[in-house]
C-alpha cells in the first residue's frame, strides 16, 4: 500500500520479449478525452467501503426514582422498594452476564489471535462499566489462561493506557 504513487517504476508500460505476450494496450486515438474528476469523485463517494458493524447490547435505562408522596401507605412504599431492588438485581445480573461473555470469548480465542483477543477483552470489560482497577485485576487473572501468559502480562500496561484515554461506552 505504500508504493501506489504514479512515479513507481512498476507502473511503466512494458513490452514482453515475445510481442504476442504483451498485455499493454495504448488507447491513444482521437476519441479520447480527459477524465471528468467530478464523475470519479461522485463514484468514489458512493462506493466507499461500508463501516464495520458494531455489536451493541441493549441496556435497560436506569430506573428513575419517583418521589414518594407523603400520603402513600406503607405497603405501597414496600412494594416500590421491592421493585427497585428487583430492577437493580436484574441490571447487576445483565452486567455480570456481559462480563462473563467477554471472558468466555477470550477463552475461545483461536491460536494466533491472542494479542487482539486479549485487547478485545479489555475493551469489552470497559463496556460493562468496570473500573480501570477492576479491569486490570481481571486482565492479570485472565493472562494466566493464555497460551503465552508472559506475552499477555506484558500487554496489560498498554491496554490499560489505551482504556484510560477513552471514555467508557456500553459497547460489547
CA dist., res. 102 & res. 35, Å (int): 51
CA dist., res. 151 & res. 145, Å (int): 12
pLDDT tens per residue across span 125-148 = 888 878 888 888 888 888 888 888
Q: What are the backbone dihedrals phi and psi of residue 58, each rounded to the nearest 5 degrees, phi first? A: -70, 120
C-alpha cell at 139: 486482565
> With contact defined as beta carbons under 8 Å apart, do 163 and 122 qualify?
yes
CA dist., res. 119 & res. 117, Å (int): 5
> With contact defined as beta carbons under 8 Å apart, do 143 and 102 qualify?
no
pLDDT tens per residue across span 91-124 = 788 888 888 888 888 888 888 888 888 888 888 8
CA dist., res. 146 & res. 55, Å (int): 25
pLDDT tens per residue across span 69-99 = 555 578 888 888 888 888 888 778 888 888 8
Kindly report the pTM of this predicted structure.
0.46
The count of other CB atoms within 10 Å of the CB of residue 48 is 7
Q: Which of 150, 121, 115 is nearest to 137 (CA)?
A: 121
Per-chain mean pLDDT for the chain: 76
Q: pLDDT-based confidence at 171, cuts 50/70/90?
A: very low
- CA distances to 61, 76, 110, 154, 168 from 113, rounded to whole Å, are 35, 54, 6, 16, 24
pLDDT of 170 > 50? The answer is no
The count of other CB atoms within 10 Å of the CB of residue 16 is 10
> With contact defined as beta carbons under 8 Å apart, do 105 and 86 qualify?
no
CA dist., res. 12 & res. 6, Å (int): 9
Amino acid at each position: 500500500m505504500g508504493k501506489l504513487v504514479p512515479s513507481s517504476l512498476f507502473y511503466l508500460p512494458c513490452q514482453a520479449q515475445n510481442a504476442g505476450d504483451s498485455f499493454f494496450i495504448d488507447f491513444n486515438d482521437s476519441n479520447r478525452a480527459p477524465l471528468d474528476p467530478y464523475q470519479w469523485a461522485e463514484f468514489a463517494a458512493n462506493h466507499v467501503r461500508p463501516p464495520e458493524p458494531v455489536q451493541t447490547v441493549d441496556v435497560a435505562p436506569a430506573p428513575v426514582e419517583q418521589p414518594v408522596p407523603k400520603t402513600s401507605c406503607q405497603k405501597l412504599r414496600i412494594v416500590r422498594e421491592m421493585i427497585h431492588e428487583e430492577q437493580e438485581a436484574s441490571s447487576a445480573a445483565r452486567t455480570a452476564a456481559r462480563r462473563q461473555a467477554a471472558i468466555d470469548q477470550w477463552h475461545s480465542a483461536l491460536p494466533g489471535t491472542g494479542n487482539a483477543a486479549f485487547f478485545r477483552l479489555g475493551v469489552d470489560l470497559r463496556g460493562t462499566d468496570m473500573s480501570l482497577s477492576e479491569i486490570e485485576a481481571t486482565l492479570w487473572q485472565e493472562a494466566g489462561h493464555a497460551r503465552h501468559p508472559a506475552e499477555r502480562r506484558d500487554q496489560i500496561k498498554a491496554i490499560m493506557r489505551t482504556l484510560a484515554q477513552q471514555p467508557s461506552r456500553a459497547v460489547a
